[in-house]
Amino acid sequence: MEVGQMQRQWLDYTKSLFLEGFLDGQFLQLQQLQDESNPDFVVEVVSLFFEDSEKLLNDLTSALGQQSVDFKRVDAHVHQLKGSSSSIGAQRVKNACIALRNYCEEQNIEGCIGCLQQVKHEYNMVKNKLENLFRLEQQIVAAGGSIPMTELGF
């Protein structure tokens, strides 16, 4: 594929991620912070998000699997995941965390477990989408092109 075609594909894909609500303006802020002095900023921050989220999702799964659930602990984990997802603009993960916190406040175990599945689902989706986006960026750069950030036109 030629560079121009890959760049158009990148633009369409990026826009679709915003339009479908996977990402919000905070992700755009990360993209704007990336420059020549900091060329891998977005990938670095998103990798930290992946690490952090996977740990928190494991902690949440084990906290909700206990005989007597410590809702304070569950809430603390969800609060952290909500914070991380909002910092990178993973909007749908953040929204699922908000719903989970509400069930946690009600001490509704079934609701919490169902909602945790939703959080995991949203996390896996956005992870997959971001990995596709980064792969496309690597291909553009490898072909000697640049990422057409300014053409996003936001």
Partner 1 sequence: MEDIGARILAGDHQVQYGQNQRTKIKALVVDDNMINQALHRTLLRNLGIENHVVGNGREAVDVHCSGRRFDLILMDLDMPVMNGIEATKKLRAMGIQSTIAGVSSRSVDENIQEFWEAGLDDYQQKPLNFPKLVSILQKVNHSV
Binding residues for partner 1, rule: CB under 8 A, are: 25-26, 29-30, 32-33, 35, 38, 41, 44-45, 48-49, 52, 76, 79-80, 82-84, 86-89
Which residue lies nearer to partner 1 by CB, 17 or 89?
A: 89
Which residue lies nearer to partner 1 by CB, 6 or 119?
A: 119
The least distance separating partner 1 from the CB of residue 86, rounded to whole angstroms, comes to 5
DSSP characters for 85-150?
Answer: HHHHTBHHHHHHHHHHHHHHHTT-HHHHHHHHHHHHHHHHHHHHHHHHHHHHHHHHHHTT----GG
The least distance separating partner 1 from the CB of residue 8, rounded to whole angstroms, comes to 28
Q: What is the dihedral of CA 25, 26, 30, 31, to 10 degrees?
A: -10
The least distance separating partner 1 from the CB of residue 81, rounded to whole angstroms, comes to 10
